[in-house]
Amino acid sequence: MSLFNNLVVKTTIATAILLSSAAAYANFNHRSWDALLDKHVIMTNAGKASVVDYAGMQADKSKLSSYLNATSKVTQSEFNRWNKDEQLAFLINVYNAGTVELVLTKYPNIKSIKDIGSVLSSPWKQNFIPLLGKTRSLDDIEHNLIRGSKRYNDPRIHFAVNCASIGCPALLGDAFTGKHLDKQLEQVTSKFLADSSRNRLKGNRLEISPIFKWYKEDFAMGWRGTNDVEEFLGRYSQALGMNSSQAKALAQGKIKVSYTDYDWRLNKK
């Protein structure tokens, strides 16, 4: 082989490798969803909670539909080439956008997302989101694609996916992205735990959101060395307003943990 041909072959191989690498880290464009969040989500209580201008979202319904239409075109093989953070950010965004779309099907004639559906068909079990080759429900996205896959193993997702309720962690006013995912998950988790309307320390008793009861097993899977709810909360003792002695007491099981009531009212403006 001539020197020229050898150089061409090496250049071709190098280009293929670069293209393959770029594809693996290609970030889906969530810009339109980010713009909707920026326009219609109002952060409250120093960023610890948020409300949604659903009337404004309704006026921009075509933009929301266009975003979900774009996400529906992502194939399973394309999704599989992304890194884990980009996959998880994508799934969280689709879940949250789908939740808003579902609320808009009945807004303004609902007081809670639980008003949608029936006893036999909860809002979270309705199949209406085309995603990765299948029409899916919100439950399917959260419990099968995110939690059930065991690929992500990150309990902080419970403070990122939004159920359109006051008791739920805030809907972040920005789209999640693979590049900033860890920082964003830390933000929503810390802010939620710092919200005394959902989590609060009263003497030697810690009252926390029932999210920790409903998904107790997710906080016992060894994420960053935490093997139960108490160890997870210990990582965020500062957000919970604990001093060092209180954090130590929590770790030693000397602080009683109980659960607050969940407010299912719509998180509307």
Q: How many residues does the chain have?
A: 269
| Number of neighbours of residue 168 by Cβ within 10 angstroms | 24
Average pLDDT in the chain: 91
Least-confidence region, from 8-12, 86-90, 121-125: 8-12
Q: In what order do the strands lie in the sheet with 200-202?
A: 200-202, 205-208, 256-259
**In the predicted model, what is the mean pLDDT of residues 236-254?**
95
What's the confidence (pLDDT) of residue 12?
Answer: 44
β-strand partners of 61: none
Please tell me whether the peptide bond between 108 and the residue prior to it is cis, using omega within 30 degrees of 0: yes
β-strand partners of 66: none
Closest CA to 92 of 121, 113, 71, 107: 71
Does position 176 have pLDDT exceeding 90, yes or no? yes
Query: With bands split at pLDDT 50, 70 and 90, how would you rate the model's confidence at 44?
Result: very high
DSSP of 76-120, one letter per residue?
HHHHHHS-HHHHHHHHHHHHHHHHHHHHHTTTTS-SBGGGSS-SS
| Number of neighbours of residue 103 by Cβ within 10 angstroms | 24
**In the predicted model, what is the mean pLDDT of residues 239-259?**
95
Percent with pLDDT over 90 in the chain: 87
What's the confidence (pLDDT) of residue 120?
Answer: 75
**In the predicted model, what is the mean pLDDT of residues 190-215?**
96
What's the confidence (pLDDT) of residue 165?
Answer: 98
Domain boundaries, the chain: 3-259
Give Cα separations from 230 to 132, 189, 219, 235, 262 (angstroms).
Answer: 36, 15, 9, 9, 20
Query: With bands split at pLDDT 50, 70 and 90, how would you rate the model's confidence at 121?
Result: confident
Q: Do 246 and 201 contact (CB within 8 A), yes or no?
A: yes
What's the confidence (pLDDT) of residue 118?
Answer: 76
What's the confidence (pLDDT) of residue 23?
Answer: 42
Q: Do 267 and 164 contact (CB within 8 A), yes or no?
A: yes
| Number of neighbours of residue 61 by Cβ within 10 angstroms | 13
